[in-house]
Amino acid sequence: MKLSTRGQYATRALVDLAMHRDEAPILLKDIARRQQISQRYLEHLITPLVAAGIIVSTRGPKGGITLVKSPEEIRLDEVIQLLEGAIAPVECINNPGTCIRSRSCATRDVWDELRQTMTDFLRSVTIQDLMERQREKEKSTEVMYYI
């Protein structure tokens, strides 16, 4: 019951992008360094975000990627769905055909309710929320050092 690194990294990349929005476009290299993600790997995670119109990329010197959808409109369920495919705790939720028991299976109904619960939660969190939480965390850390 794990999220792959694709969803995790893409989320971190988007928060990073939101936090440095005033310096856009941002280099993949910088996101990779700050978020400790392999740049080669990150390149592949960016593609679906561009395709979905969440970010745009510009090549060449002074290029990089830029957040175009506003952070409060980017919800985690969308990010996860884009990077990992449909949220579904079991295969038969998306493809009922893969199991002949689908129509009459009570456990399947419960997995579908679990899917709904997870989706509802993820939909309630935006990149804006994550950015604010991160700012808050960093502020606390400063205070900690101060003490």
Q: Which residues of this protein are in contact with DNA, per CB under 7 A?
A: 4-6, 9, 25-29, 37-38, 40-41, 43-44, 46-47, 50, 57-65
- Based on the shown chain and the rule CB under 8 A, indicate whether residue 125 belongs to the binding site for a second copy: yes
Q: Give yes or no for a cis peptide into 25 (omega within 30° of 0).
A: yes
- Based on the shown chain and the rule CB under 8 A, indicate whether residue 147 belongs to the binding site for a second copy: no
Between 43 and 120, whose beta carbon lies closer to a second copy? 120
Contacts 24+ apart (CB under 8 A), 131-134: 131/15, 131/18, 131/19, 131/71, 134/15, 134/19
Tell me which of 57, 66, 102, 134 binds a second copy, using CB under 8 A. Answer: 134
24 binds, among DNA, a second copy, none (CB under 5 to 8 A by kind): none
List binders of a second copy among 19-48 (CB under 8 A). 36
121 binds, among DNA, a second copy, none (CB under 5 to 8 A by kind): a second copy
Q: Report the alpha-carbon distance of residue 106 to residue 102 in Å, rounded.
A: 9
3-state secondary structure of 146: helix
